[in-house]
Amino acid sequence: MNISGPLVDGFGRVHTNLRISVTDRCNIRCFYCMPAENVRFKPRRELLSFEEIERFTRVVALMGVNKIRLTGGEPLVRHDLALLVKKIAQVPGIRDIALTTNGILLAEQAQGLKDAGLKRLNISLDSLNRETFFKISRREGLEQVLAGIFAAQRIGFKKIRLNAVAIRGITEPEIVPLGGFAREHGLEMRFIEFMPLDADGNWDTDQVLSGARIRAALEEGIGPLVPLPVEDPSQPASDFAFADGVGRIGFINPVTQPFCQRCNRLRLTAEGQVRNCLFSTEEWDARAVLRSGGSDEELAQLVRASIGAKRAGHGINSDQFVKPERAMYQIGG
Ligand code: SAM
Ligand code: SF4
């Protein structure tokens, strides 16, 4: 079997973007993602090794994947992550490696990651208020996150994005300060609607603070926003700039404005399961192939089977929606 050839699903969507979770562990406990206590993490031996991740990446790169995002859990708690970045950067066909992090360990690792070939950073920042940060993440850490952001800027990372999950009843007072912070420091602020992927299963549509409401709050509190041209048709965010030219804001609205028809992403969980959607209820066991002496062709076939089974959309708003068994930290956001 010839491995090469694009990863096209039944709806004509071409998959070029792989999100790799490198761990289910995390150093904080955001309520929209993890349980508060007694988290049962996967034993180390169940996680893919860097060599296994690299091999998987080589195979999907032959099928047109050219962008990688490392995520978790918190990817920076995985020992020596820069080594994985370096391995992936050398895979032929991969032209972009990005990282999504909570930023707590970033100040100490940013230089090593940049040197290894990391191109872009998304840093989660839900609040600039210490109490609210604690209420959400159930841990201290705001100072470290801010230190991580500024260290990454000093080191020379460009176009750093900040991600805030928008939750009704919590995020409203944070909107204008976060928008102002992004303007002041030349960062892009992105607001992400709360999705039903919290470990505690408490998600409710009433808790979703829509991108439209956030936009209105920013326009009232800071100034008019104008839409920016779409750089990449598969991007999940709608990007805006303030009319005075200072500061960019992105809205990721999976609940109120699903973007599934433009999706080009596949996912690999930390223990080597391929998922064709964040909300997928089925997985394809790449680790079994990797650890049983399976060929690259078998691995490619497994990925094609996953993409072939991809549904048209996540269906969060439908009565038939089935919440995946895994929570966000076990999938990789
Ligand atoms: N630990 C890293 C971090 O927080 O950036 C990477 C993993 S985290 C699962 C990836 C992204 O998913 C973060 O931006 C986080 O805020 C977001 N996220 C987690 N749970 C979510 C939920 N239920 N709805 C929307 N976004 C969520
Ligand atoms: Fe950890 Fe990221 Fe989940 Fe927060 S969102 S608990 S930082 S994995």
For the segment 246-265, what is each residue's pLDDT rounded down to a tens digit? 999 999 999 999 999 999 99
Amino acid at 244: D
d(CA 137, CA 107): 19
Q: Judge if the beta carbon of residue 74 lies within 6 A of ligand 1.
A: yes
**Cα–Cα distance for residue pair 47/64, rounded to 1 Å:** 25
What is the rounded average pLDDT of the residues 80-87? Answer: 98
Q: Where are the domains of the chain?
A: 7-331
Nearest ligand, CA 22: 1
- Among candidate residues 211, 219, 280, the one with its CA nearest the CA of residue 252: 211
| Rounded-to-integer distance, Cα 178 and Cα 227, Å | 19
Arithmetic mean of pLDDT, 111-137? 98
State the ligand closest to the CA atom of 29: 2
For 189-224, write each residue's pLDDT tens digit. 999 999 999 999 999 999 999 999 999 999 999 999
Q: Which residue has the tokens 């919590």?
A: 170
- CB of residue 29 inside a 6 A radius of ligand 2: yes
Q: Output the CA 277–ligand 1 centroid distance in Å.
A: 15
* 333 vs 112, more confident: 112
pLDDT at 303 over 70: yes
Determine how many CB atoms are found less than 10 A away from the CB of residue 149.
23
Closest CA to 104 of 153, 80, 140, 68: 140
pLDDT in tens, 145-154: 999 999 999 9
Residue in the block written with tokens 């841990």: 139
How does 245-280 read in b/e, with b if 16+ C-beta sit within 10 Å? eebbbbbbbbbbebbbeebbbbbbbbbbbbbbbbbb
Per-residue pLDDT, 281: 92
Q: How many CA atoms lie within 13 A of 32 on its CB side?
A: 22
Write down the pLDDT at residue 317. Answer: 86
Q: CB-based burial of residue 101 (10 Å sphere; 0-12 exposed, 13-18 middle, 19+ buried)?
A: buried
Residue 314: strand, helix, or coil: coil
3-class DSSP state of 75: helix
Q: Which of 119, 101, 115, 93 is nearest to 26 (CA)?
A: 101
For a mutational test of ligand 2's pocket, the pick from 31, 69, 329, i.e. the residue with the most ligand atoms closer than 8 A to its C-beta, is 329
Q: Is 72 in the pocket of ligand 2 (CB under 6 A)?
A: yes
Please tell me the number of the ligand nearest to residue 324's CA: 1
Where are the alpha helices (H) located in the chain, listed in sequence order?
50-62, 81-89, 106-116, 130-137, 142-155, 175-185, 211-221, 286-291, 296-308, 328-331
Q: Is residue 297 pLDDT above 90, yes or no?
A: yes
For position 278, what pLDDT does the model report? 95
Query: What are the tens digits of pLDDT across the range 96-123?
Result: 999 999 999 999 999 999 999 999 999 9
CA dihedral 296, 328, 181, 232 (to 10 degrees): 40
Across 225-245, average pLDDT:
94
Residue nearest to atom 8 of ligand 2 (CA): 73
> Phi/psi at 277 (nearest 5 deg)?
-160, 150
pLDDT for 2: 74
Closest ligand 1 atom to 195 CA: 24
- Residue reference for tokens 């603070």: 209
- Between strands 238-242 and 248-252, the pairing is antiparallel
Q: Are 4 and 297 in contact (CB under 8 A)?
A: no
In three-state form (DSSP H/G/I as H, E/B as E, the rest C), the secondary structure along 234-295 is: CCCCEEEEECCCCCEEEEECCCCCCCHHHCCEEEECCCCEEECCCCCCCCEEHHHHHHCCCC
Sorted by sequence, the CB contacts under 8 Å of residue 147 that are 6+ apart come out as: 106, 107
234-239 long-range contacts (CB < 8 A, ≥24 apart) are 234/16, 234/17, 234/262, 234/263, 234/264, 234/265, 235/262, 236/262, 237/190, 238/211, 239/188
Question: Cα of 163 to ligand 1 centre, how many Å?
Answer: 8
Question: Per-residue pLDDT for 1 more than 80?
Answer: no
- What is the 102 CA–ligand 1 centroid distance (Å)? 8
Going by pLDDT thresholds of 50, 70 and 90, the confidence category of residue 315 is confident
Is the domain spanning 7-331 CATH 3.40.50.2030? The answer is no
